[in-house]
Amino acid sequence: MANTLTHTLNFTYTKIRTSKLVNRLGAVLIFLLVAASSCKKNKNDEPNNAGSPDSPTTPANPANPKPETGVDAHFIAVYTTYRHTMAIDDKGVVWGVGENFRKVLGTGNDSRQLKFVRTIDQVKSIAVDDSRSLVIRNDNSVWAAGSNPYANFGLDDALAKGTFTKVFNGAEQIEVSEDNAFVIKADRTLWAAGVSNYDAFPVAQFGVMKTFTKVADNVKAVSARMGHILLLKTDNTLWVCGLNVNGELGLGHNKEQKGFVKVTDNVKAIKSLEYHSLIIKTDNSLWATGHNEYGELGIGSKTNQSRFVKVMDNVSALAGGRFFSIVIKTDNTLWAAGYNGFRPFGIESPDQTKFIKVMDNVTKVSAIDYNTIIIKADKTVWVSGANTFGQLGVNNRDDVSLFTKIKLDK
């Protein structure tokens, strides 16, 4: 079942290098395969060569952009999605780049941006998904840009203008997913807007919360992706709910979970990824569960796991994409495991079933399907991976095979 799910999300492009005749036949075959699979993914939805779990491929010669002119970006936070990226600079200004789907960048229009542009100021936290961006401003108010058919906070007309609009007060943390927007207040109550799949939020009327609604108490963090939700409570217990096709909930089976159930204790950080999940325990050890056909769990094998298994020690931050994981250790080194097609590791390397060190002096990391963005100790920003929508901010849509420093216009 896991393979069926992932097969519907990806198709494999195989480059044939033989005689001219075979090349022509190969081109015809590729055209037919792409046409037949158009109901799965198309050029606008998925980077070309996006391997499947059964037959991973990597681009033959990933491109690197020419060095850009301008000044080094000095960011303190970054959050990337499949289509765009948002970041906060050291003056509290938000910058956005990439596909402006549903005016998600908050620039007042839907124009794609290939270099980072300023959007809103006085911001201290961001969270974004393909169709929606949330920020917390210095007064702890939450502002939103973009739209989502499930949760427009009752502000459809205002959000349609394409600029950030105030939607909530008193926020300490924010998070977004395909289906939900989340706010954690200072009193550790969790508020959600969006869809209540798998009976996650019984207070939802007809399964939808159009405005922020209180859904839980004593919540320290929330992370949601591809239909599954991880909830970290103030007593450091981990609770889970939702889709579990690949064992991503860590329950010891592959059945969906309706309503939240407790999984484990002594957890300090959580990350829900497409088909797998990562957590850090209070002793800084890294644990992982779920899909592992590329080795993305970093356990030295390609066997899926349905329970959290220990991976390594001394980990401080979590990120990852569709089939890879990338983490920061307590000494600020960056480590990666899994699929390295499109080079989300930022280095030339085959896929890895165990974590390998890829960079020093890293303080922040954000990743999504096939790309990674990091902030180094000097606040400079570096990017690598797929760049189909210009989401890496290198002034073009070419993929980037090695970590490349971002420049901003003066």
- Going by pLDDT thresholds of 50, 70 and 90, the confidence category of residue 65 is low
- Going by pLDDT thresholds of 50, 70 and 90, the confidence category of residue 37 is very low
Q: What pLDDT is recorded for position 103? A: 94
Instruction: Flag whether pLDDT at 48 surpasses 80.
Output: no
- Going by pLDDT thresholds of 50, 70 and 90, the confidence category of residue 156 is low
Please name the residues in contact with 157: beta carbons below 8 A apart, sequence gap of 6 or more: none
Instruction: Flag whether pLDDT at 19 surpasses 50.
Output: no
d(CA 254, CA 1): 9
d(CA 261, CA 73): 42
Instruction: Answer positive or negative: Cα dihedral of 72, 75, 78, 83.
Output: negative
Lowest mean pLDDT among 31-45, 196-210, 311-325: 31-45
Q: What residue spans of 70-215 are helical by DSSP H? A: 156-159
Copy the structure tokens of residue 210: 């159009």
What does the DSSP 8-state code read for residue 385?
A: E
d(CA 6, CA 11): 9
The model carries a pTM of 0.84
Q: What pLDDT is recorded for position 1? A: 40
Task: Write the pLDDT tens digit of every residue in 242-260.
Answer: 999 999 999 999 999 999 9
Are the C-beta atoms of 286 and 327 separated by less than 8 Å? yes
**% of the chain exceeding 70 in pLDDT:** 81
Q: How high does pLDDT run on average in the chain? A: 86
How far is the CA of 316 from the CAs of 178, 235, 280, 328, 331, in angstroms?
26, 19, 7, 6, 9
DSSP 3-state of 61: coil
Task: Write the pLDDT tens digit of every residue in 358-392.
Answer: 999 999 999 999 999 999 999 999 999 999 999 99
Q: What pLDDT is recorded for position 21? A: 34
Mean pLDDT of 262-272: 98
Full set of structural domains in the chain with CATH: 1-57 (no CATH), 68-408 (2.130.10.30)
Name residue, tokens 């600029």.
163
Task: Write the pLDDT tens digit of every residue in 93-117.
Answer: 999 999 999 999 999 999 999 999 9
Copy the structure tokens of residue 11: 């198709």
Are the C-beta atoms of 389 and 82 separated by less than 8 Å? yes
d(CA 217, CA 103): 33
Instruction: Flag whether pLDDT at 157 surpasses 90.
Output: no
Q: What pLDDT is recorded for position 204? A: 82
Instruction: Flag whether pLDDT at 70 surpasses 60.
Output: yes
Are the C-beta atoms of 336 and 282 separated by less than 8 Å? no
d(CA 326, CA 318): 7
Instruction: Flag whether pLDDT at 47 surpasses 80.
Output: no
Q: What pLDDT is recorded for position 210? A: 85
Burial of 87 per CB tally in 10 Å (0-12, 13-18, 19+): buried
Q: What pLDDT is recorded for position 270? A: 98
Are the C-beta atoms of 79 and 371 separated by less than 8 Å? no
Q: What pLDDT is recorded for position 249? A: 98
